[in-house]
Structure 1
Amino acid sequence: MANNTKSVLVSARMEEEVTCIVCSELYTRGSREPVVLPLCGHTFCRPCLCNLENTGRLSCPTCRQTYVGPPIDQLPTVFALLSLSEHFKKSEGHGCQRHGSPVEFWCRSCQLPLCGHCLLEEHVKDGHKVVRGTDFIAERKEQILSECTVLIQEISNRKGHCVNRFSEWTAQIIAGVEESAVLWNSTQNAQNIMTDVVHATNIESILVSSSMLGSLREEVMRAAQRDTRTRTASDRSLRCSSCSEVDSASPLGLLRQESSPDVEYQETEFEETEQTTAPEENTLSPATPTSDAVLPEDKTDSSSDSPLARQDSLGNGPLVARQISSTSSTGREIGHTPRDSGVMNLLGPVPWPLKCCVVGPGGRRGKLRWEGGRLHMYALGEDIEEPHFMVQMSVLQYLVPEDYQEVFLVLETEGRCLGRVYIRLWGRIRRAQHFLALCLGSLGPSYRRSKFHGVAKRGAPGETLAGGKYLTPEGLTSVQALAGHLEWGGEHIKEKKRGLVVGANAGKPEFDAFFHICMKDQPGRRFACAFGEVVQGMEVLHAAVTHLRNNDVTISDVGVVLASTAP
């Protein structure tokens, strides 16, 4: 009993010595380091003395002697007292409750911690299985870590299932919106056909109406088949490859790396650069039409084309909802009939057709479209009619793979669409994330309506198409980075190969928005920082190279692919 009392008194005395009497907190490295007042020798934690110093005249809280000396921040830490405090924290609360001695053993039979006295007095003579405390700690650590790993994986799997369900719901909503537009237009076209038939006076008009009705029926049947697949494909997820993975190191931590001497950095210096005779760069090109067409329409005369033979700008089959003219075969203008005004509920007319968009920072909006069996999100900043459904851009990140994002550029020249280019970005590279932000407009500006400004090494190995001058809100061009510390050199150096998308800022941060697309291989030569590759549309880029001799080539639209399979 005497030993226990003595141990308690020693512990109390030690706690008193390592505690600041002003705040009653133990001295702690970094946050509450002890400092001594040189004139009186009393010790307190630095934050308490700093607070007293800020009030004006500083006096010792213990003896009230006025302090004269350097600022408290400049007083040295009493490391001996700090070490004593740390030792006290380790020993406090870990002593045997019966004997006050350090706990150093574990009894497997009783599942109890033991000190040396407990071991000798009871457990050894009773034949209990006892191990050292350090061995027990190591075993239990391994067990806990293993169980936590399994639990985290289970949680991650559940998160994956949750995200997959959300992805399906989002995709179904957007697909439903697309279908509502098809059905709405089909209704209008069916009514136009009826009007034409009523007023038809010759065989040719009847045959045209019959053919248009057949195409319209096929379009409606395709929409119905898509709806059936949506209802029955509950086991098919629009998942991204990173949904069930534990977050790893963020690419935002990557810093600009040292350059290598054998790398061609001056990508902005062209051997041959074609400048067009287009208007000044700070003059905005005509805005992309906001009609139902996905890509800019070809402005060439197409009056000789049959309406049923025309295809949409993605090369798909006839889209009757967009092809049947609102003018009848007899030449009369047919007005659109009102929406289903008879369908009413307590809140007013049911909206039809439905509209959906993505909304980002500042309330800016972008289109969401199913195109070619994949969900496309267009860059923010478009003037979109008030939608019925709005999806936050931050939520749609679940549909974007973490390692490889795929963006698209729609190119045009002289108002004529050249086609699309799809680029897969290597997502863990900060420069790729910067390019993605300029494809989405998530940080403000985007590459929409920006122009390719030249071709380097035209016709020679290592030929590249140069771009990157985005438009500012004031209508001027800029190549200033929207984020800092973009990579350059180091592990990102790649041999010049056709299709690579690379940084072209010559290692200068003020030109970080510049990029080049390699058009021809050049073995033995390397780019300083590759961050993506073209996966579709090289023929479109070659056409752009050809047109840049005499005309502007503009990125008329831009965005990212969110999902790979339509519901």
Structure 2
Amino acid sequence: MGGRLLPSPCTGTHFYPHAAVSFFQDDNVEDCPVCLNTFDDTHRRPRTLPCGHTFCTPCINELKEQGAVTCPTCRVSHALPEAGQFPISYAVEGFIRKMRGAGLACVAPKPGKQLTAPAAVTQPAPRATAGLSKRTRSLLQEQEAKVLAAIRSCQEEQSQLADYRTTLGGWCGRQQQLEDDLQTLVDQSKGAREAISREDSRVEGRQEKVRQREEALHAMLQELRTPSTRQEAYEVIEDADHLLEEEEEEEERAAVFPDVHVVTTVARVAESSRSALQAASPATQTAIEPAGSTAAAAAAAAAGDSSLSESPAAASSIADRLAALLEPSLTAEELLRLTQRARGLVEASRVLAVQDVEGQTRHARISLEHGRLHLHSLQATPPPPHALTLQMGEVVPAAPPCEVFLDLAWPGSAARRVVVSLPRDTPRGRQFVLLCSGQRAPATPTPPCLGVG
């Protein structure tokens, strides 16, 4: 079984011995005792934990684990406050400013967060307040502290606005994905509508042929009623035999109506569209209704002679096939779980796997042998009527582990089956799955087969 390496619980965190952290903290108060970088007023602002120890913001963020932070100095665990961050230590910031001889370093915006570059707080010029009174200088310092606090407030608001824009960008991306999904659904709906149009043209052509056949049969009926001599009667009977043979051949061709692929595709697209519309507006309903047998019989009676309307076999068979195709479709989950309904459909040879490549549809037979499902190789022949179809990707594993089999035969010998177990996902194993299922090979009269267990 494939797997992946899980990250270590310590990934992204730093661990320092207690003595070393204490040493760094006592040595340089203006430096973070974890990363040893100097505190500043922008990215590495000092934050104090409830235990009293102070660290820079990035280090505290890296120490967060499952809603708590363990202090590297005293090893006490503190729960994160509701705001998500511990309070800024303004006393430490003020102490560092005094140690640097007053004034802030240039304010640098956070990388990737700043939308518009705010005016930088530059290093102030040396104070020309020597001649002012102590009271006046104190008032100036108080105002300076208020201005600095307002600057920090602006920076915090800029950071929050940048976060909000990131959230909006995520919403926009999800909305774009929804639009793409809806566009895909619209494209599928257009393709289904075009398939319906092609099927309608095919049925229209068939209708014209049936009308011509009916006229020929009516003419033959009149000829059978009019011969006056034995010779004429034998000739008419022979002509009638030829006409009836052609009629039987045409009835066999009628078995291709309706087209299985068109009906199942339209039904699947309609179901997807219905689900999307119900999600948008529960009151919206769409459905595909099969034509009723009563309407079909009425159409047959109106189209021909009343003496022939007592046996509307052709119309009712098409209606029955259409109704059978519009039964609730079989899901891949039902098939692989081999529910009672799925087992009956497989045993009746009504379940196929299909693959559409460049406008060509191929199908593979699914059989039940010794209680296990077997998917045979793809064939280029038209699928039989009344079949329920699933996409090849729904029933064939994308990669091993699985089992595949090859049916091999030599002239004069019975076919023997070779079963190959592919326990691991490897490139060669994937190629072997594609070979045995026929997904990457042309259809052959006696193809290899893939067993799905």
Q: TM-score, normalised by structure 2?
A: 0.31
Structure with larger RCO (C-alpha < 8 A, sep 6+)? 1
Q: TM-score, normalised by structure 1?
A: 0.25
- Bigger fraction of residues in helix: 2
Larger Rg: 2
- Bigger fraction of residues in strand: 1
